[in-house]
Structure 1
Amino acid sequence: MTKTARAVKAAGVVLWRSSPYYDGIELALVHRPRYDDWSLPKGKLKRGEEFPAAALRETREETGLGCSLGARLPSTHYRVDGRPKEVRYWAAEAGTGRFVPNAEVDRLIWLPPTAARRRLTHDRDRPLVDALLRALED
């Protein structure tokens, strides 16, 4: 009898701010050197942690910024090392703080939504940009 692999549970945000450079918003993307990818801030839940708390914690850990969670965005589902993974996302307006590069995230960039969509490494992350824009229109 084979045991079914337990799903990895994670939470993240599409972090945005009003652009200081033009009329519109910018989205934060993080570069993870371990995977050499551009991604949205996210990470695994700790034991007993709720999804929203994990989203806030991971955002602070990866970007150095606090944030305010807004609308719930779609979740993504994919496999990592043969295990199913679910990542629940929220729209999140950036708060205060300062990014400091570390072993997990070595770069943070702010891009307009169209450029952010192009820069994201994984196709599964791109619809989250559109979902954020729809949520901000409401």
Structure 2
Amino acid sequence: MPIGVASFEQIISGGFTLIDKTLLISEFIKNNNTVLIISHPEKFSKTTNITMLKCFFSVPNLPDNLGYQRALFKETKVMENSEIIQNHFCKHPVIHITFKNYNSCNSWKCIEARLHEELSRLYREHQAFEI
């Protein structure tokens, strides 16, 4: 595992070793809660797992991204479940907001400005989707 690389996409496309935790996707789907809070102590793969969920569920923003996203999961346990693949793989608009880079903000105005920028970017990214 490389130091400083936590994104599922970067780990897979970089050829690094990753323990297959894709069955978390199945558990996520089976869970009928409206809200799911995922918390673990620092350095317990939260970012990797969250970015894995994003890569799996998110609708590709470019037509050729579907093949790329499929390649990320090609040898994983979740791909053995055809029902999950058919009903959920690349079928949901996903909004992912991380607050990792907000620690340099020293005021609420700074946090608010960054959040506005992030929400604007997400809006532009998702405006083509019909929800």
Larger radius of gyration: 2
Which gives a bigger RCO, structure 1 or 2 (Cα 8 Å, sep 6+)? 1
TM-score, normalized by length of structure 2?
Answer: 0.24
TM-score, normalized by length of structure 1?
Answer: 0.23
Higher strand share: 1
